[in-house]
């Protein structure tokens, strides 16, 4: 069945560009267009589309205001924000993702119109391919998974989320947590990070697949509402307990060591899995420097970034958690980890949060690297 779509943009040129791109994607039907936010709300209420591509910056009602109006009206539709490479575009897009937008695409800005059209088509095609795949089959139905991997606990603050795994013994010190996340990540992180306590005794390093400016905006937004410090990673900064480091968009971030302490390294290394920043790139360095003392968590997102890094964490004796299907926006990255038999636990978003708090406030951790450093 075709995905019925409405295209919203105040630029006639870009409305046509989005419409032409969607016309080339199988099983997508553009049923209407809107040139401003007010007409967009009216047409979405009238036609009840499956998908809306929503321009972020428009006169009158902007993209965020349209999204909030739809939410307040109880209208259920999938929204892909269409954003520019600007501070305002990044800020509004981040807020839109926090308020239920499925994902976003960037307006290409090449000098060559054909290159712009190709890039836009690729971005839209990737996201619509994911929409065609939802809902995916239950993880519990996969014959490749053993019974110990399936978490049956319901999300609650009372559950015991201690890893039932091969790699964590009571005598082990947890020294670092690394998280890989993509589509659906900003909303999930906005639920997770503000609940972490100020006395968190381990650092948290995160790769969220986002472009430059957007990661800084997200870090600033999270820092405003969190008890822990949340910063965009800076090359050479020491890795401190109780601080959350978000990899800068368009760069790679890893753990390195100079002297007795670990530090953040931000560099311009090539993309891994077509991702920059890459989850695998961060996870592999964390496995090397922290060994048994690292916890890797793979959360909502499309693709397979994080699987190879999780494998190295497991080989070094560290722990790996994967987010469960029910609480993922896109069950891609965690599924790959689970089906590769690398996840020590499969947990809901609430259980991940509770587990981090339990382990991160009941450990004699330090900022020192592990024995394998």
Q: How many residues does the chain have?
A: 373
C-alpha distances in Å from residue 342, one per residue of 108, 147, 148, 205: 37, 14, 12, 20
Q: Which of 78, 106, 133 is the last residue of a domain?
A: 133
In the chain, the largest separation of any two C-alpha atoms, in whole Å, equals: 64
Threshold 0.75, pTM exceeds? yes
Same domain, 117 and 187: no
Q: Which of 133, 159, 181 is the last residue of a domain?
A: 133
Domains of the chain: total: 2
Same domain, 215 and 306: yes
pLDDT attached to residue 267: 98
Nearest-angstrom CA–CA distance, 262 and 272: 22
User: pLDDT tens per residue, the chain (373 residues)?
Assistant: 899 999 999 999 999 999 999 999 999 999 999 999 999 999 999 999 999 999 999 988 999 999 999 999 999 999 999 998 778 889 999 999 999 899 999 999 888 989 999 999 999 999 999 888 765 433 333 333 333 333 322 332 333 343 444 444 433 689 999 999 999 999 999 999 999 999 999 999 999 999 999 999 999 999 999 999 999 999 999 999 999 999 999 999 999 998 888 999 999 999 998 999 999 999 999 999 999 999 999 999 999 999 999 999 999 999 999 999 999 999 999 999 999 999 999 999 999 999 999 998 875 444 343 433 3
If you ran DSSP here, which 8-state letter would residue 107 be given?
P
Same domain, 207 and 165: yes
What element of type H or E holds 45? helix 37-47
Residue 368 within any structural domain of the chain: no
Residue 366 within any structural domain of the chain: no
Nearest-angstrom CA–CA distance, 178 and 245: 9
Catalytic residues: 182, 209, 305
Residue 370 within any structural domain of the chain: no
Quote the domain boundaries for residue 59: 3-133
The dihedral over CA atoms of 108, 304, 219, 227, expressed in degrees to the nearest 10, equals: 160
- Residues facing 264 on adjacent strands: 255
Same domain, 335 and 356: yes
C-alpha distances in Å from residue 39, one per residue of 10, 59, 226, 334: 11, 12, 37, 39
Same domain, 156 and 256: yes
What element of type H or E holds 346? strand 345-347
Q: For residue 81, what is the domain's CATH number?
A: 3.40.50.2300
Q: For residue 233, what is the domain's CATH number?
A: 3.40.50.180
Instruction: Map residue 362 onto helix, strand or coil.
Output: coil
Same domain, 297 and 261: yes
Sequence-distant (6+) residues with CB within 8 A of 38 are 60, 61
Same domain, 123 and 178: no
Q: Which two tokens stand for residue 162?
A: 């201690």
If you ran DSSP here, which 8-state letter would residue 242 be given?
T
pLDDT attached to residue 55: 95
Instruction: Map residue 339 onto helix, strand or coil.
Output: helix
Nearest-angstrom CA–CA distance, 65 and 80: 14
Q: Which two tokens stand for residue 75?
A: 């209208």
HEC sequence for 130-195? HHHHCCCCCHHHCCCCCHHHCCCCCCCCCCCCCCCCCCCCCCCCCCEEEEEECCCHHHHHHHHHHH
Closest by alpha carbon to 175, among 345, 295, 320? Answer: 295
Q: Which of 133, 155, 187 is the last residue of a domain?
A: 133
Nearest-angstrom CA–CA distance, 324 and 161: 14
């Amino acid at each position: 069945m075709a995905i019925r779509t409405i295209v919203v943009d105040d630029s006639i040129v870009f409305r046509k560009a989005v419409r032409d791109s969607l016309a080339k994607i199988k099983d997508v039907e553009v049923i209407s267009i809107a040139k401003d936010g007010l007409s967009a709300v009216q047409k979405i209420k009238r036609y009840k589309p499956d998908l809306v591509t929503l321009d972020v910056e428009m006169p009158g009602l902007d993209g965020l205001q349209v999204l909030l109006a739809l939410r307040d009206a109880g209208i259920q539709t999938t929204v892909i924000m269409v954003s520019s490479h600007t501070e305002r575009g990044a800020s509004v897009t981040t807020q839109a993702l926090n308020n239920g937008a499925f994902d976003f695409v960037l307006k290409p800005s090449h000098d060559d119109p054909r290159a712009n059209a190709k890039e836009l088509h690729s971005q839209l095609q990737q996201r619509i391919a994911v929409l065609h795949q939802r809902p995916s089959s239950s993880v519990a139905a996969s014959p490749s998974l053993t019974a110990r991997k399936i978490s049956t606990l319901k999300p609650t603050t009372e559950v015991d989320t201690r890893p039932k795994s091969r790699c964590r013994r009571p005598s082990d010190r947890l020294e670092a947590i690394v998280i890989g996340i993509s589509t659906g990540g900003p909303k999930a992180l906005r639920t997770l990070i503000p609940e972490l306590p100020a006395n968190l005794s381990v650092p948290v390093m995160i790769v969220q697949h986002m472009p430059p400016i957007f990661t800084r905006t997200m870090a600033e937004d999270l820092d405003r509402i969190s008890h822990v410090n949340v910063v965009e990673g800076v090359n050479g900064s020491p890795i401190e307990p109780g601080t959350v480091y978000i990899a800068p968009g368009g760069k790679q971030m890893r753990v390195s060591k100079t002297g007795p302490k670990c530090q953040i390294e931000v560099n311009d290394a090539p993309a891994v899995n077509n991702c920059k920043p890459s989850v695998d790139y961060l996870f592999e360095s964390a496995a090397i420097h922290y060994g048994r003392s690292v916890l890797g968590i793979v959360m909502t997102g499309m693709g397979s970034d994080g699987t190879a890094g999780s494998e190295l964490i497991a080989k070094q004796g560290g722990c790996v958690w994967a987010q469960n299907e029910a609480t993922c926006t896109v069950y891609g990255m965690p599924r790959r980890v689970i089906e590769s038999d690398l996840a020590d636990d499969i947990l809901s978003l609430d259980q991940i949060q509770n587990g981090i708090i339990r382990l991160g406030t009941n450990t004699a951790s330090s900022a020192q690297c592990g024995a394998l450093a």
